[in-house]
Amino acid sequence: MNSANSECGNQRDQLASDLATCGQIIRDGSKSFHAASLLLPREVRAAAYALYAFCRVSDDAVDNGSDPVAALHDIRRRLRRAASGQPDPTSVDRAFAWVLKAYGIPVSIPEALIEGFEWDSEGRRFETLEDLKSYAARVAATVGVMMTLVMGVRSREALSRACDLGLAMQLTNIARDIGEDARAGRCYLPTTWLREAGLSAEDLATLSEADDRVRLLTARMLDAAQPLYAAGINGIAFLPEGCRPAIRAAAAIYSEIGAQIARAGHDTIGQRAVVSKRRKIALAAGSFIPARPTQADPAAPPAKACAFLIDAVESVAPPPAPFPEPPKAGTAPWAIDLFLRLEQRALYPGNG
């Protein structure tokens, strides 16, 4: 018995150390949602350490390596090992294996995120808005689903609304970064929209400021995000009360990016909308006040592009309740990019 207790204690000590390492990766890699992240309960933060760090390290491997195909192959290998309970002997992979098991996260959810990495490495473009939403489902809604699961919520309604919020944030990022993406040889605007406007992706790179066509496209993208924000905000009520302020703050900050773009006349070629630290803090402070319900139906079916994510969650048995309390992972300030690759363009250029 003493030996068993000692082994259990050693495992907890190892996990605490692994989570602390993941927390350091977060502190070093993302400052964007520091204010919002501090509003999350400690047990959710610890699981978020593990989620973020695995995705961050994986994304960097694709972005910074000389062979993206080989990097993607290795990431998938690591994911399979983590999901099987035999992770690579690194802090990041051990912590990620823990969170997958502890919170019943289907392996197909991070697999979809990795598929989004792959689409980026291919320079894939999107014909329609629905095609673009399929991409956003992979690079943004996946993280919304995983975060919802670590909050202890698995209902179809809550997961659907988390996906809506992820889609809305990604579309906002795409609108914000039209000029920056174009100059880097990337374009996420639907090609049908470009043809209707009489533009090509290459034309965007030649502009020093937005013309009327670009302003219209930017406004159109932001308009596409609005009903998704409305639906996503209504879904916050499905979350534990202690988690709601952080999600409200994240939604408010991204909505403010869209507002800044509109105030700048929808010029996303000559300038990049930025929400000041002071404004972020004010929005985070206001997140303790429940948002007024929108007209969106909180029980509406999931967006077509995201239905496969919710189906994946429903196909696996939930973990035993109550959710496990993780060991302490340190109390220093930390940051989590709630919807991965949305704010941190440095992670993988072209995703926001």
Residues 6+ away with beta carbon under 8 Å from 30: 52, 56, 335, 336, 337, 343, 344
What is the per-residue pLDDT for 45?
Answer: 84
From first to last of its 352 residues, the chain has per-residue pLDDT tens of 566 566 667 788 899 999 889 888 877 766 554 445 677 888 888 888 899 889 889 988 998 888 999 999 999 999 999 999 999 999 999 999 999 999 999 999 999 999 999 999 999 999 999 999 999 999 999 999 999 999 999 999 999 999 999 999 999 999 999 999 999 899 999 999 999 999 999 999 999 999 999 999 999 999 999 999 999 999 999 999 999 988 998 899 899 999 999 999 999 999 899 888 788 878 877 888 887 888 889 899 999 999 999 999 999 989 886 566 655 543 322 233 333 344 444 334 444 4
- Name the fold adopted by 2-314: Farnesyl Diphosphate Synthase (1.10.600)
CA distances 237 to 6, 246, 255, Å, are 42, 12, 18
Task: Tell me the per-residue pLDDT of 162-174, one tens digit each, with 9 for 90 and over.
Answer: 999 999 999 999 9
What is the per-residue pLDDT for 114?
Answer: 97
CB 167 within 8 A of CB 228: yes
What is the per-residue pLDDT for 321?
Answer: 67
pTM of the model: 0.88
Sequence spans of domains, the chain? 2-314
